[in-house]
A and B are shown apart, each in its own frame.
Chain A
Amino acid sequence: MADLLARAGDVGLASGPVLWQYSRALLANRLFTAGAAMVIFLAVLALVAPVLSRAGWLRDPMQQEAAGLDEDGIPRPAGGAYRLGTDNLGRDVLARAVHGTRISLTIGTAAMVMATVIGVLIGLLAGFYGGKVDLALMRFTEMNMTIPAILLAVAFAGLMDGRVLHLAPEAWHWRWLDVELKRGMFSLFVIIGLVCWPGMVRVIRAQVLVLKEREFVQAARVLGASDARLLLRHLLPNILPTVIVLAAMSTANTILLEAGLGYLGIGVPPPTPTWGSMIFDGQLLFTVAPHIVVAPGVAIVLTVLAFNLMGQGLQEVLDPKQKK
């Protein structure tokens, strides 16, 4: 805690409980407030999207409307009855873009949590135990870093073809351990989570290497604290600022990856509206109806930008010495 206080002092704050100091510093940071405001807005939008549709403020994102296509079967342009136009099946682009927030944020956040848990766990263990454990874990991380995340995700997604994977031996008849390999929200966030963690490991490990030599850790060790206690009560709380920064920044990545997989046609299957698949669907009519592709793209950029800004703001406040 002394360490945190000292750091809070670095950013120009003198007194009050640590959390209060951090919140004040964060609220004073323009990058963070701008990013956080955008994230909150998007989260609220994701929550109320079905309500808006039911109340009639927003059209039904799944409804293929007859009036949505003109006599030649060309989607309606932006403006008019459909504020952002319609897509290739006559569905309202605005409604689909708003509902797409739900998929993007859900998968992005869930994948971020998964990646963070894996990354922090490996980084903590590698840094704390050192020696052979460190060597093995870091080699494993390096192997994962050699494959571009999107390509690995594509390879995983390529395996999702509806087959059933038996985790328990056939003879046991443990059907509850069967996993059906199909594309959906669950498999997507697992895939993205599985490919997004390697970047975090080195940063966490480097911090643990420094921290574990500090007096308070040594003191706890001398007092007979177990490894688990040292890791959870002494090391983890002290790397928390870094973890928060990494988590915010990796959400930007997981959202981009989800959109990318959707764009390649291997994301959440249709007709669920996702930004990536909207762009994928809109490509065929790109020359006559570019608005189908523009709207979800702007949505992706704004969302990713929001998390990037939040991450940078958090970094300036929580982790001023850490260089990216």
Chain B
Amino acid sequence: MLTRFLTRLGWSVVTMFGTSLLVFILLNAVPGDVARIVAGPKASPAVLKQVRARYHLDEPWWRRLGYYYAGLAHGDVGHSFVTDQPVAQAILTRLPTTAALATVAVVMWMAVAVPLGVSTARYRGSIFDRGTLVVATLTLSLPAFWLARMLQYWLAYKLRWFPVAGFRSFVDLLLPAATLAILAIGYYARLIHANMVEVLQSPYVTAARAKGVSEMGVLFRHGLRNALIPVVTILGMDVAGLLGGVIFTENVFALPGIGTLAVQSVFNLDVPVIMGTVLFSALIVVGANLVVDVLYQWIDPRIKERV
């Protein structure tokens, strides 16, 4: 088990190394006077020279690659072109908002998707089941930014049920999280449905029924527990998608999170911050995959036998 974990950890490191190399190439593939972007169009040659020296722009690419990795090893992703704030600091100060938003969203959508997936599997083929399929396909087709705007307009601005924008308390997270949840509920309900249908046909469920286990016991103790195993993997891989959705919802609801930071940095052409957010989300995704991989052995002990 430890070897398996270490192998996975090793591969995660390789993946992160590759991703950071990709980011470096993106940063450096485009020739252009970075010094001019930093110092502004009217900077004097002396200032430009200073800026070039500071960002090592006058040195060959392989030395800059060295500085880049030396920096990364210290958790240093560079400084913002615009605010001169260290990128790592800019990201970390915004992390709690994004993390809170994502957590509330995941709790919301699982709280709806699990009962929905189980009941549509139980009453498979019914009007309720087909109707859920249609609604699920519809929610898959909604653009996050548009749904966020619509909910904001009707539920917050018109009906005044929720705060419109900003981040002062937990309540401000409800509507943005609901946006993310609506986008995901359909997909997860279908996923749980598909797994439940398969599990409910398995011999151990028939055995449980034959033993006289109650319907609820069959569905939740025997069925759902097993049906959730693949869902956990998808959830781990979906972190990337979730971060994508966060970019838009944070933007619409003016939450000071990593998504807002990424969008702002694009408007400002603040390349170090753009790349910093890319690297950071890659780190989160790789970490989530690793955690899922380890959790998996605990959830599904059969995995051990296969290794």
**A interface, CB within 8 angstroms of B:** 139-140, 142-152, 154-159, 161, 163, 165-166, 181, 252, 256, 259-260, 263-266, 279, 283, 286-287, 290, 293-294, 297, 300-301, 304-305, 308-309, 312, 323
Excluding A151-B281, A304-B142, 6 further A-B contacts by CB distance (< 8 Å) are A143-B22, A154-B266, A154-B274, A156-B26, A283-B149, A323-B194
CB A321 to nearest CB in B, in angstroms, measures 12
Interface of B is mostly: helix
The reply to whether the CB of B199 lies closer than 8 angstroms to some CB of chain A is: no
Stretch at the interface among B12-20, B52-60, B82-90, B98-106: B12-20
Across the two chains, which residue of chain B brings its CB closest to A157? B266
Q: Which of A142, A165, A283, A297 contacts B30 (CB 8 A)?
A: A165
- Of the residues A139, A158, A161, A165, contact of B18 by C-beta under 8 Å: A139
Q: Return the chain B residue nearest A263 by Cβ.
A: B145
Q: Are A279 and B243 in contact (CB under 8 A)?
A: no
B269–A161 CB distance below 8 A: yes
Residues of A within 8 A of B266 (CB): 154-155, 157-158, 264, 266
Cα–Cα distance between A10 and B251 once the two chains are bound (Å): 48
User: Is B138's beta carbon under 8 Å from chain A?
Assistant: yes
CB atoms of A263 and B240 under 8 A apart: no
The answer to whether B286 touches A148, judged by C-beta atoms less than 8 angstroms apart, is: no
Name the CB-closest residue of B to A166: B31
A260 in contact with B141 given A145-B240, A146-B15 (CB within 8 Å):
no
A150-B244, A259-B143 in contact; A159/B26 too (CB < 8 A)?
yes
Residues of chain B contacted by A308 (CB below 8 angstroms): 137, 140-141
Contact B282–A147 (Cβ < 8 Å):
yes
- Which applies to chain A's interface (DSSP): helix, strand, loop or mixed? helix
A75 CB to closest chain B CB (Å) equals 16
Q: Mark B241-258, 1 if CB is under 8 A from A, else 0.
A: 101100110010000000
Measured between alpha carbons, how far is A181 from B32 in the docked complex, in Å? 11
Q: In the complex, how many angstroms separate the beta carbon of B93 from the nearest chain A beta carbon?
A: 19
Hey, which chain B residues are within 8 Å of A259, CB to CB?
A: 143
B128 part of interface (Cβ distance < 8 Å): no
Complex: A308 Cα to B136 Cα, angstroms: 11
Q: How far is the CA of A147 from the CA of B271 in the complex (A)?
A: 16
Interface hits, B34-74 → A, CB 8 Å: none
Contact A151 B244 (CB under 8 A): yes
> A300 CA to B240 CA in the complex, in Å?
23
Q: A146-B240, A151-B281, A154-B263 are in contact. Are A260 and B153 (CB under 8 A)?
A: no
We find that the number of chain B residues with CB closer than 8 angstroms to chain A is 49
Most chain B C-beta atoms within 10 Å of own C-beta, residue among A146, A149, A163: A146
A152 and B26 CA atoms in complex are apart in Å by 10
> Could you give, for residues 281-307 of chain B, a 1 whenever the CB lies within 8 Å of some chain A CB and a 0 otherwise?
110011000000000000000000000
Cβ–Cβ < 8 Å partners of B153 in chain A: 286-287, 290, 293
| Cβ–Cβ < 8 Å partners of A161 in chain B | 32, 269
Known A147-B278, A147-B281, A266-B266: A312·B146 in contact at CB below 8 Å: no
State which of B22, B30, B194, B262 has its C-beta within 8 Å of the C-beta of A151: B262
Given A147-B19, A151-B281, A293-B149, decide whether A301 and B247 contact each other with a Cβ distance below 8 A: no
A163 to B15, CA, bound (A): 30
B149 → A minimal CB distance (Å): 6
A152, A283, A300, most chain B CB atoms within 10 A: A152
A147 near B143 with CB under 8 A, answer: no
User: Is B150 interfacial (CB 8 A cutoff)?
Assistant: yes
Give me 13 A-to-B residue pairs in the complex whose CB atoms sit less than 8 angstroms apart, sorted by A's number: A148-B244, A150-B244, A152-B278, A158-B266, A158-B269, A158-B271, A165-B29, A260-B145, A260-B248, A287-B153, A297-B146, A297-B149, A308-B140
